[in-house]
Structure 1
């Protein structure tokens, strides 16, 4: 399988709505064109909501997405670290909403406490204790997971993505500052590309940057004739899942009790920390 060099891919734009212009002569036709899935790739001025302020309009014009360069390493690691770290509270508190079994166990524990102690005050402290334990284990495991990622692909982005055939890494830049990241990792055997490491600086969200980053991966996949794009996420926030759906991804399954590096599978971990791993797929062409 032949891949376009990352630099060529990142500097190429989709100039037509005709899917045949994006394919080689012997490829199957695309299932969806870019305009069928969403409007044409946004200009830099469309990455933020409308505003009457002249300063905001100027800022929007300066937002653009380009391929990763070695000087971006620390900024990319920071955005990735802060984005994943935000999931500590989401996993500890919002995540309980999707864990009915644990809800039942916690309720039984509170009832048993009341039966044994006959104290309403002590019983009221049980939920506080349980939430505290959930936060402790969520923080412990997610930070361990982060350290693992920072020691592997995020330790040398240029080597892991830019110098690997079928892979690439992009950054979103505003006024010379890196404010968002996304990666594409190709699998030649399955003819599938994985969308990875998407994150936007919390100070610059709500401007459409994440969607533009996702579209860049779509463009990369189409130009390199991949059959589909896949991604997996443990995100709890509904906004993250709506973003993937707006990009055309289809939810294809959930893995309960997902494990990540740093987990010991102890009884306490299973009692206070659980992850749901959502899988998404965007089919570009039939094989």
Structure 2
């Protein structure tokens, strides 16, 4: 893989090519991002169900319904409704995030990422079709250090397992290195298992994790993970 910055040509690797975003990529980039985020809510739901607090809450709901109604069937119905609410909350966490991003940085990708210093947006193209995206922005919380934040990494399901996500990550790392940054940072969530496993294999390390603050996020027990990759110092 040849390193490149914003002025150099795209990088070709086997059957895909990483290049700068173009306006003609707009709809596909937004669609890839939307699908890539929404697909995580089933895992979020399963992880929520495994949480001890969920089991306790569901048990209390079932027993409380039974004590009030004296009906096992009605209690099961109430429990089913509670599970549906939990599923809806798990989906809402990701759909609301998608809605926010589509009306924020993904609303005008060129203006937000390509016309501002320290930012960039790339796509992975295969067979003339955009199959992946990634972006870079200056970190909003550098803590006295020069960091670049990796954002909007997604790869179409049909093209996973081909090294595209790793190449997109490496593109951001190279971009940050060329700008003299000390580290690449990112945020992801616990249900995005493939993502944080990829980051860890590439040398990112988890700095901390927090439970998200909103009611639906607490109800679904969605945890946000923070990672950092230290860029080697070259003489």
The verdict on a shared fold, with TM-score over 0.5 as the criterion, is yes
1:142 deviates by 2.8
Contact 1:183 1:217 in 2 (8 A): yes
For residue 154 of structure 1, what is the aligned residue in structure 2?
A: 106
Q: 1:64 to 1:95 in 2, by over 3 A?
A: farther
Pick aligned residue for 2:92 from 117, 128, 140: 140
Q: Deviations over 1:64-108 (max 9, x none)?
A: 1111111111111010011111123222333332x3323322222
Pick aligned residue for 1:84 from 23, 26, 37: 37
* Aligned equivalents of 2:109, 2:6: Cα separation in 1: 15
Q: 1:277 to 1:103 in 2, by over 3 A?
A: same
Q: Does 2:6 correspond to 1:7?
A: yes
User: Secondary structure of 2:121's match?
Assistant: strand
For residue 44 of structure 1, what is the aligned residue in structure 2?
A: 13
Pick aligned residue for 1:106 from 54, 58, 65: 58
Q: TM-score, normalised by structure 2?
A: 0.86
* Aligned equivalents of 2:100, 2:221: Cα separation in 1: 19
For residue 225 of structure 1, what is the aligned residue in structure 2?
A: 180
* Aligned equivalents of 1:174, 1:12: Cα separation in 2: 12
Q: 1:93 to 1:131 in 2, by over 3 A?
A: farther
Q: 1:179 to 1:284 in 2, by over 3 A?
A: same
For residue 192 of structure 1, what is the aligned residue in structure 2?
A: 147
Give me the CA root mean square deviation. Answer: 2.4
Contact 1:234 1:277 in 2 (8 A): yes
1:153 deviates by 0.5
1:252 deviates by 1.3
For residue 123 of structure 2, what is the aligned residue in structure 1?
A: 171
Q: Which has the higher strand share?
A: 2
* Aligned equivalents of 2:221, 2:206: Cα separation in 1: 20
* Aligned equivalents of 2:40, 2:166: Cα separation in 1: 20
* Aligned equivalents of 1:271, 1:114: Cα separation in 2: 26
Bigger radius of gyration among the two = 1
Unaligned runs of 5+ in 2: none
User: Secondary structure of 2:6's match?
Assistant: helix
User: Secondary structure of 1:213's match?
Assistant: helix
* Aligned equivalents of 2:169, 2:162: Cα separation in 1: 13
